Chain A
Amino acid sequence: MKVTLDHLTKVFPSRNRKTGKDVIAVNDFCFEIPDGKLVGLLGPSGCGKSTALNLLCGLLKPTEGRILFGDEDVTSLPAENRGVGMVFQNYALYPHLTVRQNILFPLENLKGKDKLSKEEMERRALEAADLVQIRELMDRKPNELSGGQQQRVAIARALVKTPRLLLLDEPLSNLDARLRLQTREEIRRIQKETCVTTVFVTHDQEEAMSISDVIVVMKDGVLQQIGRPQEVYDQPVNLFVAKFLGTPPINVFRAKVKDGWLTIGQQPVLALEEGIEGDVMAAIRPEGFILDENGPLTCRLTEVEVMGRDITVVSNHPDCENVEIRSIISSDETVDLSSGSVQFALKSHKVFLFHPETGARIPFRVKA
């Protein structure tokens, strides 16, 4: 089932009646979540992504706009009737019920024509438990489980009623680093097996990039960009998105376009086709640097980190916003630390230009 958000807005009235301004947690969202896909809602904390999730499941009512499940308008349908499955950040497993009772809980709520027999419920609970591989834990209480196991139970409970939409709120934030990697693969697998349209919220761009079919980048309640992870990485629409995605982060320089040349400091680094003039922000991905003795960009070299497969060259430049410039090059190359400086040439498709005030992307073409 595809989900459509149509001019969705959520405003929280200010707590402080006198001075405070209303908080616009979600501002005029318009996008479509394609059927059967895994969508990552990504943004720094406080950007409104959890609010968006709560609007989708019906725990919050939008101030304006509509939500459509397929063709049905569910905007004012209460959470109870939406038929979505949700995994909460702290899992919200009922502590007084066993794993089995927790998983059965949503099924026991079904009424009327949807009501299931005892055997059918049991069968579906086991099916869900098998899917997340926790069959042997069925008679334990939540406090006897590890964080990862609790996470699986929460997923099973969300899936058992075969929801139209599965929502996960920061599903990995309470797990340690090792489990995090494992669990995110697990979520990917479960989503593939069940083909349920899934939305998850995260502030960790790596997490979102690695498993999502589509990522939605948000900032301050405003949708920034939506697209396949690679697409968003390769074609960020603004400086925020460019900075938010990628580790190590993108390197941002205060630059100028003068006489058809992109100029950093006094050094002309790229020849551009006509049409751009004046101050710009030039952002260069770490993998966009090429070691080249005759390269146009000179940086002060501080350190070289050898990571096996590749090398990180750490340097700095007075016009760079980042404290240190991190560039990743193949380990076949060698860097001479003693010289104290390093020369780079640039891969033009890894260089983006942005408007210095608005941060909007400025498209350019390299002069051949």
Chain B
Amino acid sequence: MVHLSWYMTVSAILFSMGVFGFLTRRNLIMMLLCIELMLNAINLNLVAISHYMEDMRGQVLVFFIIAVAAAEAAIGLGLIVTLFRNVKSVYTEDLTTLKG
């Protein structure tokens, strides 16, 4: 049987890569995609722990996280489309309105 810590290590690596992508990408769409990567890492962690605890709590939580991720993607991408119509760019370095 595969040990639980292996799943948790894979999940930690995935989450760190998501954080790295979120910090370095300039494209807002790719930044949202990196958030999805982090959510998937969390989901893997929850399912693995839930499986090894022989409990359903973690998997129910994953079910809700997937629902929230769908809502988040819909709202975030709607915001990006609106932003692109107004600013004509989806790059973080072009969004300098608050700089004055």
Q: State yes or no: do A and B come from one complex.
A: no
B residues lining the A interface (CB < 8 Å)? none
